[in-house]
């Protein structure tokens, strides 16, 4: 399927510090068309969440950023964009892998895991105008053909490691663009509930008893994930029955 606008305007770079940084700089100069895709063969300073570095072998993986102008979203609902992108990646992986044979999950906030290992990560950088989202740079790192993750071997995987098949980057980017367009138009077309419900139904640990680690004092507590708010906070029902909202930096789980 061709897309209406996502990925129609493309910038392919042999090398860049970070496709997100490139997109942010571009936005300072011009109003790039909505859905502009910037992708690179190699990033010299790829950015991950929480200030981490994103490392990806040259030419083997997808390192890409899309530009959107979701002015219909309130700044406080920014996490709807994360849910949307996670679902587009989930849908792409469901098309590429037989879901009967692989366990594909979204791990809050927006990591994608296959068989318990991370295959993709998302870094969204927004700019705001008044209380609306003026522009969003949606950075996607998806491991395609990388065969070796070194010390991350137990935590990271790629489509190649899962299937022993090589995946051409352009083909997978086309699928991502198509799936992103579908979910973006749902979000824009007031079908937010579909996005929210699907996010929960594909989320690792939803409605199951889990052990969480509190970042502040490294203590553990048990609870059950009840939902994720539009600002990104996770709702956890504690043993006492009380439901508490936590921010990303406050807790972690699934170790
Ligand atoms: C994470 O899981 O920590 C998020 C990783 C996001 C990586 C992608 S690669 C393309 C884009 N450019 C960047 O510098 N980061 C994102």
Atom of ligand 1 nearest to the CA of 40: 10
* 54 ligand 1 Cβ < 6 A: yes
Instruction: Say what the pLDDT of residue 24 is.
Output: 98
pLDDT digit string, tens, across residues 127-180: 999 999 999 999 999 999 999 999 999 999 999 999 999 999 999 999 999 999
Give CA separation, 84 vs 59, 77, 180, 214, 215, in Å: 26, 12, 7, 27, 27
* 82 ligand 1 Cβ < 6 A: no
8-state DSSP, 45: S
**Band of residue 255 on the pLDDT scale cut at 50, 70, 90:** low
* Residue 172 CA to ligand 1 centre (angstroms): 17
- Residues whose CB is less than 8 angstroms from the CB of residue 227 and which lie 6 or more positions away in sequence, other chains included: 200, 234, 235
- Residues whose CB is less than 8 angstroms from the CB of residue 25 and which lie 6 or more positions away in sequence, other chains included: none
* 35 ligand 1 Cβ < 6 A: no
* Residue 203 CA to ligand 1 centre (angstroms): 20
Closest listed residue to residue 120, CA positions, set 100, 150, 146, 101: 146
pLDDT digit string, tens, across residues 9-37: 999 999 999 999 999 999 999 999 999 99
pLDDT digit string, tens, across residues 50-92: 889 999 999 999 999 999 999 999 999 999 999 999 999 999 9
- Structure token pair of residue 123: 């870094």
Say whether pTM exceeds 0.85: yes
- Residue reference for tokens 């502040």: 216
Beta strand extents in the chain (DSSP E only): 10-16, 37-43, 62-68, 104-107, 111-114, 117-129, 132-142, 209-214, 220-228, 234-238, 243-246, 251-253
């Amino acid at each position: 399927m061709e897309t209406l606008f996502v990925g129609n305007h493309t910038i392919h770079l042999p090398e860049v510090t970070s496709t997100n940084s490139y997109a942010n700089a571009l936005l300072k100069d011009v109003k790039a068309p909505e859905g502009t895709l910037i992708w690179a063969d190699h990033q010299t300073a790829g950015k991950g969440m929480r200030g981490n570095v994103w490392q990806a072998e040259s030419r083997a993986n997808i390192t890409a950023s899309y530009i959107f102008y979701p002015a219909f979203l309130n700044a406080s609902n920014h996490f709807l964009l994360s849910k949307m992108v996670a679902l587009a990646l989930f849908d792409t992986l469901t098309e590429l892998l037989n879901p009967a044979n692989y366990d594909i999950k979204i791990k809050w906030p927006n990591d994608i895991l296959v068989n318990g290992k991370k295959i993709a990560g998302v870094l969204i950088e927004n700019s705001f105008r008044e209380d609306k989202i003026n522009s969003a740079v949606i950075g996607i790192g998806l491991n395609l053909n990388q065969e070796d993750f070194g010390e991350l071997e137990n935590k990271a995987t790629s489509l190649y490691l899962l299937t022993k098949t090589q995946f051409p980057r352009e083909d997978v980017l086309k699928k991502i663009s198509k799936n992103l367009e579908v979910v973006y138009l749902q979000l824009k077309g007031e079908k937010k509930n579909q996005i929210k419900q699907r996010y929960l139904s594909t989320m690792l640990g939803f409605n199951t008893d889990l052990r969480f680690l509190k970042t502040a004092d490294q203590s553990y507590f048990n609870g059950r994930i009840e939902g994720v708010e539009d600002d990104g906070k996770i709702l956890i029902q504690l043993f006492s029955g009380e439901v508490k909202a936590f921010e990303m930096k406050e807790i972690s789980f699934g170790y």
